[in-house]
Homo-oligomer: A and B are copies of this chain.
């Protein structure tokens, strides 16, 4: 972040307004402050609406006297989470300023129920910032996961790849400036000719270029985002952002965070066929993979979940 922006953030953090609205004290503490992600990225919370009590309040409107029996907020939030009563979670909202590589932004934006204002490279000139992975994150293609990463690659080849990414990024940015006809201070290189339109020059830049956006989402849809993007099926780089968001979530709405981890992140969903296998195991009836009706992937997942690794096939 540039010094000018950091100074503005310091100024903004000194402000204290009086409000009758619900607040989250831990989120107020971290408001505006950038949290670093990857080599040049960040997430910072710029605004929010509501807290755990807003969810409880909305649930009580819907369920009225029916919720009086659930006598504390954590229990009610657990109940809502467990039973997929999702609408009260829509009553909270958060707005973030995020800096992220374009290939991460392309995955992120697939979540449609959110609002976005992205830095426009049609209006403005992009900065000379590119994501370069750490050597230990340069991994080979996974053998058993068509979309994922496997082991770290041997260091010599990893270093070579790092150098390629770095030098091609630099070359692309230099050529971007040449097309725009601007130097590092955005002054014309050659005053005798115009620059190419910004919207065109940018097509030269690689997918590891950083962009920025304001992103606003309600809590229900944020949880859905986190469920998918904190999973080990998600790409490492977007998981790094998801992990920071999980920390923010825990500070903002701790009861929701607890319920989410328990019933959504660390839960297992089992088909009726899988449950039937468990029932037989509990009755000490013989069960084999071939007779189970499960696919090999399902069987192995179930045995792993049940801590019965000796039964893996």
Residue positions of A touching B, CB distance < 8 A: 12-13, 15-23, 28, 31-32, 47-50, 54, 57-59, 61-67, 69, 75, 78, 82-84, 87-88, 90-91, 93, 95, 97, 101-103, 105-106, 109-110, 112-113, 115-120, 122-124, 131, 133, 137-142, 146-150, 153-154, 157, 161, 164-165, 168, 171-172, 175, 178-180, 193-200, 202-209, 212-214, 216, 218, 228, 233, 235, 262-263, 266-275, 278-279, 281-283, 295, 298, 305-308
The complex is assembled from copies of this chain, and their number is: 4
For A149, the chain B residues whose CB sits under 8 A away are: 197, 199-200
- Besides A164-B179, A204-B206, 5 more A-B contacts (Cβ < 8 Å) are A62-B119, A66-B146, A140-B195, A168-B168, A262-B271
For A282, the chain B residues whose CB sits under 8 A away are: 278, 281-282, 306-308
CA distance A151 to B245 in the complex (A): 45
Which among B49, B116, B262, B306 is the interface contact of A48 at CB below 8 angstroms? B49
CA distance A31 to B20 in the complex (A): 7
For A59, the chain B residues whose CB sits under 8 A away are: 117
3 smallest CB-CB distances across A and B, nearest first, come from A64-B124, A66-B123, A66-B146
- Contacts A58-B214, A197-B149 hold; do A273 and B262 have CB atoms under 8 A apart? yes
Nearest Cβ on chain B to A140's Cβ, whole angstroms: 4
For A47, the chain B residues whose CB sits under 8 A away are: 21-22, 49-50, 54
CA distance A113 to B108 in the complex (A): 16
Contact A196 B295 (CB under 8 A): no
Contact A266 B262 (CB under 8 A): no
Nearest Cβ on chain B to A71's Cβ, whole angstroms: 12
For A18, the chain B residues whose CB sits under 8 A away are: 16-19, 23, 28
- Contacts A197-B140, A214-B91, A282-B281 hold; do A271 and B275 have CB atoms under 8 A apart? no
Nearest Cβ on chain B to A291's Cβ, whole angstroms: 17
Which among B13, B64, B281 is the interface contact of A120 at CB below 8 angstroms? B64
Contact A124 B66 (CB under 8 A): yes
For A216, the chain B residues whose CB sits under 8 A away are: 90-91, 93, 218
